Structure 1
């Protein structure tokens, strides 16, 4: 697996993540399979982990967890967490160390999501996902069978969440959570590993359910690293061109409007340059769509899986 630091062509800037070039397999153990009628099932090997069906209005998705998920990352030892913290000079180096750790673990895993292609492992959540009330809602609202309201719809508001755990979050007083709460207070708690699932329009918790619960129990937030497929260069270039053209037109307008006051024009130009830089930066780390495979048997097969793993579940998809 080839690894490249993000951003690729800059030095002296904040570490954003790793680009991963993965040479296989063609079909991973942890994968989404889809069928007509906005149906999705998440498999881990031959085990059904999650069933989901989008609403016809595209305002959210109904889901049912089966409780059969297993993290593809081996348990993290407290000694390693403290050693990583002590050996890293700053947060960038610490996150990079953990990114390499997770990349290695996922590459060696027999039940992970990596498949052939280009991936990225980036720091933090995108700005529009990092919503304060949604963090507070996580430990109180995490049903095994439920619904996620997609961003901006508030239909209903209480179902708005930024991530979906693949197994129930443990209580704040369990032994493992207590151990991680101590690590959180010491500043050595490892990041939570997320996985972008475009078919659900949300992040799945790939590894770190106990760490997530611990940070929330301490009224805080964990660091997160997000795994996603990388947007192909040609698409990034295509999306960037309108931004650059608009920026050039905007700068020309500023120079004309403030021709008699060059210092003001220069100040406004620098602000516009920073804004363009931020837009291009966000574009570079924008995830590509998650790959999914056709579910053999189609919609009838999905319906049979739903009856078997979530008896009595009838997701309301008509609104």
Structure 2
């Protein structure tokens, strides 16, 4: 008899992104069905070649440039074998709390959390995860990608999700320029935190889309589940493609439940640094102890005096066969599923050199 997933309240006060309510921590054991790769997981090969797979089927092949200049994406099989159970009308009606209230979020977190804890087609691997309501922001409020690997720090906060309209775009292949330095609103500027669908959108006249549109209009639309992948700086839509589509059609902000693995770090004590923080806090408070300034000072003190820090790091397994296997899969996929590409982009994406 194997242990199951343990649930507890997320007491992290500052995840660095706008939150819509309290959260849950999911502690996944290291034995039983959780000891193997989950159905949905990330794999890596040399030269920043990545593959998102589910049930043995590639969903995305990804290449990041060695200088962090660009990133290419190739879509694979668009099915979702991890199989989170579909929400029934009866389950939706059971949640009678005021939409957006803490009790409403709690009810949906527990429902989707229990679905994630099912061992049949696991999405979670061993370790700790956070499941928490997150707010989508305007794309212009997000941050650009780092200009080199030297700016990428191991263990960061998730970036806020934005651009839910991305679920309606399902290009077979695209390359992003991560060096664009224009204003965030300029075309071509790529920002961290975008939502990426894992399947094509349903037609507008699909029955489930129509049903969810009614829920979107009356404010009772259940949240979509999105998972953060820190190396890509993006959120993958795990569940709720049709709910997101319905919200967009109705012009309402879709409720989002964010999921990310948690890295626990023990922070070394620094008496000299803490003394400097205290002097800085006193200086700011003398300048004007407004409510907002007090909140900022308290946040600074918490961050510098806590003994540990929580962040996120996406775990990846090695691609069996390494770069040759990754490259052979990509070439075979394009051969059997032809689609137009820019020759220069494709030549870079499939190049043999790391």
- C-alpha separation between the residues in 1 aligned to 2:136 and 2:246? 22
Secondary structure in structure 2 of the residue aligned to 1:108: coil
The answer to whether the aligner puts 1:122 opposite 2:126 as a matched pair is no
Shift of 1:102: 1.4
| Superposition deviation, residue 2 in structure 1 | 1.1
- Corresponding residue for residue 315 of structure 2: 291
Structure 2 CA distance, aligned partners of 1:241 and 1:156? 47
Please point out which of 183, 186, 208 is paired with 2:240: 208
Partner of residue 248, structure 1: 278
Equivalent pair of 1:230/1:285 in contact (CA under 8 Å): no
Q: What TM-score comes out, normalization by structure 2 length?
A: 0.73
Kindly indicate whether the alpha-carbon contact (under 8 Å) linking 1:125 and 1:226 is maintained by their aligned counterparts in 2.
no
Which residue matches 2:84? Answer: 73
Counterpart CA distance in 2 for 1:299 and 1:208 is 33
Which is worse superposed, 267-276 or 178-187? Answer: 267-276
Query: Is it true that 1:170 corresponds to 2:176 in the alignment?
Result: no
2:146 matched residue in structure 1: none
Instruction: Return 29-38 or 68-77, whichever deviates more.
Output: 68-77
Stretches of structure 2 that go unaligned for 5 or more consecutive residues are 14-18, 143-158
DSSP-derived class of the 1:305 partner: helix
Q: Deviations over 1:195-247 (max 9, x none)?
A: 1112322110011111111111111221111111112142xx46999996664
- Count of paired positions: 301
User: Alpha-carbon deviations, 1:1-31, whole Å to 9, x = none?
Assistant: 111112269xxx9843111110141221211
Residue 75 to residue 241, structure 1, CA distance change in 2 (3 Å): farther
Question: Structure 1 residues 219 and 55 mapped into 2: Cα distance closer, same or farther (>3 Å)?
Answer: farther
What's the offset of the Cα at 1:254?
A: 3.8
Is 1:96 the counterpart of 2:96 in the alignment?
Answer: no
Q: Is 1:225 matched up with 2:231?
A: no
TM-superposed CA distance for 1:275, in Å, is 4.8
CA RMSD of aligned residues (A): 3.6
- Partners of 1:21 and 1:117 within 8 A in 2: yes
Contact between 2:229 and 2:236, CA under 8 Å: does it hold in 1? yes
Does the alignment pair 1:198 with 2:207?
A: no
Equivalent position of 1:21 in the other structure? 27
Offset of residue 59 of structure 1: 4.2
For 2:296, what is the secondary structure of its paired residue? helix
Aligned to 1:261: none
Alpha-carbon distance in structure 1 between the residues aligned to 2:271 and 2:7: 27
Distance 1:200 1:278 in 2: 29
For 1:46 and 1:120, how far apart are their aligned partners in 2? 25
What SS class does the counterpart of residue 157 from structure 1 fall into? coil
Secondary structure, in 3 states, of the residue corresponding to 2:72?
strand
SS in 1 for 2:329: helix
Structure 2 CA distance for aligned equivalents of residues 34 and 220 of structure 1: 37
Give the equivalent residue in structure 1 for 2:43: 33
What are structure 1's unaligned runs of at least 5 residues?
259-263
**Residue 309 of structure 1: aligned partner:** 333
- Provide the rounded CA distance (Å) in 1 between the counterparts of 2:52 and 2:303: 33
